[in-house]
Structure 1
Amino acid sequence: MSLPIPLMTIGLLLLANVFMTFAWYGHLKHPGASLITVIFISWGIAFFEYVLQVPANRIGYGYFNAAQLKTIQEIITLSVFAVFSIFWLKEPLSWNHFVGFAFIAAGGFFIFHKW
């Protein structure tokens, strides 16, 4: 039995974003590491993001249009980053972050609403 397309798409995008968030921001916790080292490690981590991201978009396209896929991606990215920021970087988010994220999520409403 196959999972529904929206569930597969969103699940793969969620996993892809975990990898990409670590690829882009994980090294910030290690400021003493050389730049070339973190670039290559980040590329290695990003490979797994692409292994998940590309199939997510291929599976989801047709059920979702491209703008909807990108909107899902961005909302997931902010959600993953918020958790990452708090638990990995130990940087708390304040009210203004949540207001900004809410405005971006509101943009999702306009993308997905049938007018």
Structure 2
Amino acid sequence: MCGIIGYTGRSQALPILIDGLTKLEYRGYDSAGVSVFNQDQTHTTYRSAGKLSELQKLTETSKADGMSGIGHTRWATHGEANTVNAHPHSDTYGNLSVVHNGIVENYLELKKELIQTGHIFNS
């Protein structure tokens, strides 16, 4: 079980995402993360193991200025409960951040294919 939130609007995304994750924290206590798509077209991503309060500490002085983003709380059912496995996950080039709920059954085949095309994995 996980909690997933997304926001696009006219306000700063980070505080809205954190507030939304507080309402979804019961969906996952093992890790949490957010990725904000900034006005300069970069992503600012924060991930932490443990309760949401750990993520909140990381984001207190954030300069993320985007008005859209995604967030995730994780209940680890597959893989260790650590920062590396916390969502959001980003692509090699920093162009894309994703979250998901559940287990990707064919992850080994997908990982092998992506490594062959030059992608680097951190999880």
Rg larger in 1 or in 2? 1
Name the structure with the higher strand share: 2
Range into which the TM-score falls when normalised by the shorter chain? under 0.3
Name the structure with the higher helix share: 1
TM-score, with length taken from structure 1: 0.25
